A and B are shown apart, each in its own frame.
Chain A
Amino acid sequence: MASFERTFCLQVPSSTENLALIREFVSAVGEQAGFDENETLKLALAVDEACTNVIEHAYQNEETHEVTVRVTVDEDAIAFEVIDRGRGFDPTQEPALPVEELIRRRSSGGLGLRLIRTIMDDVQYRIVAGQKNELRMVKKRRPAKSATPEPGAPR
């Protein structure tokens, strides 16, 4: 039983210009929820990828619609819902191809999905007919004090 739950919501016009705003929103909530800088960057990246998919696929780059990002924080996890009212595009149905294959196909959209799947612990999609499409992504909190060292990062 979670003893607290907080919800944050951002709604912006469906333009890629607003991706920076969306990332800042996710980063701010992630930091407040206690995720470190590297984790927060990855959360912002996953939500950026999901919103990019909505703008480019669900809304076909039309800037007159709205994208909603709702974040729910509790003791166990941080959950993101990316909501649109465009044509349903279920990214969870796309095959998980190896990066080499994505490169061969020049599929940066496939790369985005791969990032979402890698970063998040759970990804689900649902269509509420005639109302909305919703991509739900959950990242569980890690046990405290796991300061992960950079794996082979160049100095």
Chain B
Amino acid sequence: MTRSFLIETRNEGDVRILALKGFLDAHTAPRFEAAIEEELRGGRSRLVMDCSGLDYISSAGLGVFMTFVDEARGAGGDIKLASIQPKVYQIFDVLGFPALFDIQPTVEEAVARFGSAAGEG
């Protein structure tokens, strides 16, 4: 059976990109939670989620963002979301997440937001 959810990580300067692929539900959310936790414990709080490969998200996945966004912001970073497919965006939208999270059209724009925010604060 194919794995239904994958995370690929890479760096853009001091920003960590997590590319989410597949289906994020109550079954796969614990893996996502462990991945975010590992980044934060490793001192990486500037995180961008590349959602271009994310095909589905339920409250279990949304809950992971909720759980860690304050901690990331408290450490001087953020959890920003980028490149969300329209069908998935509607789920974020239904819950009002766009008002609470920094959601950008592309990964590049999300990374740039850290740059401008960090430039002499």
Output the least CB separation between B96 and chain A (Å). 5
From A35-43, A122-130, A136-144, give the one contacting chain B.
A35-43
Query: Is residue A79 contacting chain B, with contact meaning CB distance below 8 A?
Result: no
Q: Is the pair B26, A99 in contact by a Cβ cutoff of 8 Å?
A: no
Residues of chain B contacted by A103 (CB below 8 angstroms): 66, 69, 100
Q: Is the pair A114, B95 in contact by a Cβ cutoff of 8 Å?
A: yes
How many chain B residues touch A (CB < 8 A): the figure is: 32
A88-131 Cβ-contact flags toward B at 8 Å (1 or 0): 00000000000110110011110110110011000000000000
Query: Is residue B67 contacting chain A, with contact meaning CB distance below 8 A?
Result: yes
Give Cα A56–Cα B103 distance, bound, in whole angstroms. 30
Given contacts A103-B66, A153-B93, whether A111 and B56 have CB atoms under 8 Å apart is: no
From A2-10, A13-21, A64-72, give the one contacting chain B.
A13-21
Q: Is the pair B94, A106 in contact by a Cβ cutoff of 8 Å?
A: no
Q: Is the pair A17, B63 in contact by a Cβ cutoff of 8 Å?
A: no
With CB as the reference atom, state the residue of chain A lying closest to B1.
A17
Q: Which of B23, B87, B95, B97 contacts A20 (CB 8 A)?
A: B23
Q: Is the pair A17, B90 in contact by a Cβ cutoff of 8 Å?
A: no
Q: Is the pair B89, A150 in contact by a Cβ cutoff of 8 Å?
A: yes
Query: Is residue B27 contacting chain A, with contact meaning CB distance below 8 A?
Result: yes
Residues of chain B contacted by A42 (CB below 8 angstroms): 90-91, 94
Within 8 A of A (CB), among B4-32: 4, 23, 25-27
Q: Is the pair A45, B91 in contact by a Cβ cutoff of 8 Å?
A: yes
What would be 24 A-B contacts, judged by CB atoms less than 8 Å apart? A15-B27, A41-B90, A42-B91, A48-B58, A49-B58, A49-B59, A52-B26, A99-B96, A103-B66, A103-B69, A106-B67, A107-B63, A108-B60, A108-B66, A114-B95, A115-B58, A115-B94, A118-B94, A118-B95, A150-B89, A151-B93, A153-B90, A154-B86, A154-B104
Listed in ascending order, the chain A residues whose CB lies under 8 Å from chain B are 15-17, 19-20, 23, 37-38, 41-42, 45, 48-49, 52, 55-56, 99-100, 102-103, 106-109, 111-112, 114-115, 118-119, 150-155
Listed in ascending order, the chain B residues whose CB lies under 8 Å from chain A are 4, 23, 25-27, 56, 58-60, 62-64, 66-67, 69, 83-84, 86-87, 89-91, 93-98, 100, 103-105
